[in-house]
Amino acid sequence: VSAELELRHAALDLIDIEQEARGRAQAEAERFGQIAQRLQRSLLPARLPRVSGLDIADFYQPFSPDDVGGDFYDVFPIDAHGRWGLFVGDVCGKGLAAATLTSLARYSLRAAAVIDTDPGDVLADLNAALLLDPGNDDMNYCAAAYGQLERKGDGWGVGIAAGGHPPPILLRAGGDIETVTTEGTILGCFPDQAYPAVSVDLGPGDTLLLYSDGFTDIRAGGDWLGVDGL
């Protein structure tokens, strides 16, 4: 009986230790989740700007709320003459490494946009910045689409360049749908790459959609959604 009681006490002690360990692990996971969410918010615009003559909207949903996603975007003024820049990108990986690369990509794009007037040159500058990064390794690359907007009559002229990124989609006010085909390899892998820009005109009621492959790679009816599905 004494031996049986000792075994029962030992089992209860073990259960207490296990429950305590689970509680600590849960608290640690929640703490890391909160850190990841704060870090994620710091890498995205707190709010999109108001631009006269444009309606701008964004939607962002990371795959996991407890990890830092690799997608990034922004809309920002380039100069005092009414030019605006916008980009959507997707860096390789997730977590802290992706966050570091995302920060480098975002601020490199913003800085290059002030200097270069051609969207393709802006992406070429980003490509060079990624290649020159001291922390560069085989996973230090990203895909991105960058556009510059300028008022044109009662609409907007948009120049778009992309590197390894899904094609932007243009929905005309009358219902016609076009894909904006751009040529450019992924960023951060090969030096001296060209990223030719494509020009499109946006009239009243037209919609330009930029997105990452996180959208097209979702399942729809058992198949990948893809660009055609989108």
**The token pair that represents 198 in the structure block:** 């494509």
**Cα–Cα distances in Å, from 160 out to 40, 42, 81, 97?**
26, 26, 19, 28
Query: What is the SS3 assignment for 15?
Result: helix
Q: Is the pTM of this model over 0.85?
A: no
Chain segment 178-194, per-residue pLDDT in tens:
999 998 999 999 999 99
Chain segment 144-155, per-residue pLDDT in tens:
999 999 999 999
* HSE value, Cβ hemisphere, 13 Å, CA-based, for 55: 6
> Is 140 in contact with 101 (CB distance < 8 Å)?
yes
Q: For 208, list phi and psi in degrees, rounded to 5.
A: -110, 125
Beta bridge partners of 91: 142
